Amino acid sequence: MKKYDVVVIGGGPSGAISAWRLAENKVNVVLLEKGSRLRVKPCAGGISNGCYNLLKVPDELVERKIVKGLVVSRSNKSVYVGSAKEPGFIVYRPAYDKWLMDSAEKAGADVINNAKATKIKIFEDKVEVTAEVEGKEEKYEAEVLIGAYGMESNLSKQLGIETPKYINVIQYELELPEKIIDERIGDAIEVYFNQAYSQLAYVWMFPRRDVVEVGLHFYAGTNAKMMIERLDKFIKEHPIASEKLKGAKIRLVEGKKLVADTIPTEPLKKTYGHRFVVVGDAAGLVDPYSYEGIFYALRSGIIASEVIAKALEENDLSETSLKRYQDRWMKEIYEEEIKYAMKLHKMSYGHDLSDDLVDALVEAAIEDRELRRIMGWLLNHKYSRKYAYNALKAKQSLIIKKLGLIKSLKLLFKTL
Ligand SMILES: Cc1cc2nc3c(=O)[nH]c(=O)nc-3n(C[C@H](O)[C@H](O)[C@H](O)COP(=O)(O)OP(=O)(O)OC[C@H]3O[C@@H](n4cnc5c(N)ncnc54)[C@H](O)[C@@H]3O)c2cc1C
């Protein structure tokens, strides 16, 4: 039995940053990750400006510096938003997560790969985790546990908490020569709003160096085959996107043509208990407007590490003491971000006026520089969702003019 102060399960951004920060604070921490150090995690690799400002990415990990975003509406009107002064970045997720795990290790954490946690036992005075480590069963004892295992429902069940509600996503990695991507897409992310393709939110085209990540969102319970056909149709037939993707070849990811995964849509009501907290996707902390998750995974991991370092100092790992973790993310992440991203979600997705709204927004933004900046913030997360939502609200007369009074009133009733 190996003994630690903290055991972290999961080496994605939320778990790795927790272990990194705790180790920097001289806390004795072990991180168990079921995959290898360079394990694949389906992701478009978008690091927003806000996320980058929280944690700078080393230059060698930047696949592309993003200086603008192209928003395309259902009627194929389009506008570039954002600014080179507020850049985002595209990384290759396995390499980004490896860097985070390496950093945690350099700071002093024990990072154990190919270690799948199978059993969690919470006792009054300790936590015990059983893991399969390269075919052998190992046990780890700690004062407290951080659950950073993403959407792994089996572990949440053992902790007696829920698994977050979710949507589905599918994505292709499409290969094109770097020069062609430079010419056709450049240093821009592209988002296509059209419910004939993506059921909610958008189809994304995020360019890496010689690959474009192309994927879409859909509701849980929808026929996945139908959604794959829609994504294929988008790639082959969309009047703007198909030209940009002409000649692209599918790059296999772990032998598969298409990756499919889930993204949480709502924070859990309770993300802590006696001697444990859950962070990142496991806690449902993802932006429900853009579905950006890395930023909140890092933020919740940092908050968890600070609260736990203090709780260890005070020798109080009770539920009451760890409630401070949830109090902090409620204030810093929910009240400033998710609450307003939910308003944006309600206004923008899941009804018959979704596409009309984006048409109106794009038309208005073509004419209004300030609106282009605000729409840029929705993509690059330069400012909080609260700030961007209020800035957008101040532009409502412009949007109503484009959308028309009747549709605007209908939209208002839908979102009340
Ligand atoms: C297709 C797709 C595209 C996305 N694109 C973006 C994007 O461009 N930008 C963005 O910000 N967000 C994006 N997201 C969301 C983002 O990937 C997640 O929100 C983020 O990865 C959450 O980080 P995490 O550390 O909480 O969980 P994860 O990154 O899921 O990490 C969880 C880790 O736990 C490990 N694990 C699970 N079970 C066990 C176990 N039993 N024992 C040990 N280890 C275990 C897993 O192997 C994994 O490494 C995307 C998501 C998807 C699916």
- Out of 18, 154, 291, mutate this one to test ligand 1's pocket (max ligand atoms within 8 Å of CB): namely 291
pLDDT at 413: 86
What residue ranges do the domains of the chain occupy?
2-41+94-164+266-337, 166-263, 343-415
Distance from residue 251's CA to the centre of ligand 1 (Å)? 20
pLDDT at 183: 98
Distance from residue 36's CA to the centre of ligand 1 (Å)? 14
In this structure, whether the domain defined by 2-41+94-164+266-337 belongs to CATH 3.50.50.60 is answered with yes
Distance from residue 150's CA to the centre of ligand 1 (Å)? 6
Residue with tokens 């407007």: 289
Q: 67: helix, coil or strand?
A: coil
The model's pTM is 0.98
Q: 384: helix, coil or strand?
A: coil
Per-residue burial over 156-177, b = 16 or more CB atoms within 10 Å of its CB, e = otherwise: bebbebebbebbbbbbbbbebe
How far are the Cα atoms of 19, 129, 164 from residue 147, in angstroms, in the given order?
11, 11, 13
Residue with tokens 């592309």: 64
How far are the Cα atoms of 75, 253, 376, 377, 380 from residue 87, in angstroms, in the given order?
28, 28, 10, 10, 7
Distance from residue 359's CA to the centre of ligand 1 (Å)? 32
Q: 180: helix, coil or strand?
A: helix
Residue 168 and residue 215 in contact, taking contact as beta carbons nearer than 8 Å: no
- Out of 294, 329, 380, mutate this one to test ligand 1's pocket (max ligand atoms within 8 Å of CB): namely 294
pLDDT at 134: 87
**Residue 45 Cα: closest atom of ligand 1:** 8
Instruction: Count CA within 13 A, CB hemisphere, residue 373.
Output: 9
Alpha carbon nearest to ligand 1 atom 27, residue: 150
Nearest CA among 177, 186, 184, 183 for reference residue 69: 186
Alpha carbon nearest to ligand 1 atom 37, residue: 149
Alpha carbon nearest to ligand 1 atom 50, residue: 43
Distance from residue 415's CA to the centre of ligand 1 (Å)? 30
- Out of 7, 8, 32, 34, mutate this one to test ligand 1's pocket (max ligand atoms within 8 Å of CB): namely 34
Distance from residue 361's CA to the centre of ligand 1 (Å)? 31
Q: Round to whole Å and give the CA distance between 324 and 332.
A: 12
Q: Is 398 left (phi over 0), alpha (psi -120 to 50) or beta?
A: alpha
Q: Round to whole Å and give the CA distance between 278 and 276.
A: 7
Task: Let me know the angle formed at the C-alpha of 61 by 255 and 69, rounded to the nearest 5 degrees.
Answer: 90
pLDDT at 387: 98
Angle formed by the axes of helices 369-380 and 354-367, to 10°? 130
Q: What tens-digit pLDDT sequence spans the chain (416 residues)?
A: 889 999 999 999 999 999 999 999 999 999 999 999 999 999 999 999 999 999 999 999 999 999 999 999 999 999 999 999 999 999 999 999 999 999 999 999 999 999 999 999 999 999 999 999 988 999 999 999 999 999 988 999 999 999 999 999 999 999 999 999 999 999 999 999 999 999 999 999 999 999 999 999 999 999 999 999 999 999 999 999 999 999 999 999 999 999 999 999 999 999 999 999 999 999 999 999 999 999 999 999 999 999 999 999 999 999 999 999 999 999 999 999 999 999 999 999 999 999 999 999 999 999 999 999 999 999 999 999 999 999 999 999 999 999 999 999 999 888 77
Distance from residue 127's CA to the centre of ligand 1 (Å)? 24
Distance from residue 341's CA to the centre of ligand 1 (Å)? 20
How are the residues of the chain apportioned to helix, strand and coil, as percentages rounded to the nearest 5? 45, 25, 30
Around ligand 1, the residues with Cβ closer than 6 Å are: 9-15, 32-35, 39, 41-46, 116-117, 148-150, 152, 155, 169, 171, 215, 261, 263, 280-282, 286, 292-295, 297
Alpha carbon nearest to ligand 1 atom 7, residue: 46
Residue 317 and residue 144 in contact, taking contact as beta carbons nearer than 8 Å: yes
Q: 293: helix, coil or strand?
A: coil
Distance from residue 305's CA to the centre of ligand 1 (Å)? 18
pLDDT at 147: 98
**Residue 90 Cα: closest atom of ligand 1:** 8
Distance from residue 365's CA to the centre of ligand 1 (Å)? 33
Distance from residue 282's CA to the centre of ligand 1 (Å)? 9
Alpha carbon nearest to ligand 1 atom 29, residue: 12
Q: Round to whole Å and give the CA distance between 353 and 411.
A: 7
- Out of 66, 263, 285, mutate this one to test ligand 1's pocket (max ligand atoms within 8 Å of CB): namely 263
CATH domain 166-263 topology: D-Amino Acid Oxidase; Chain A, domain 2 (3.30.9)
Which tokens go with 307? 């609260």
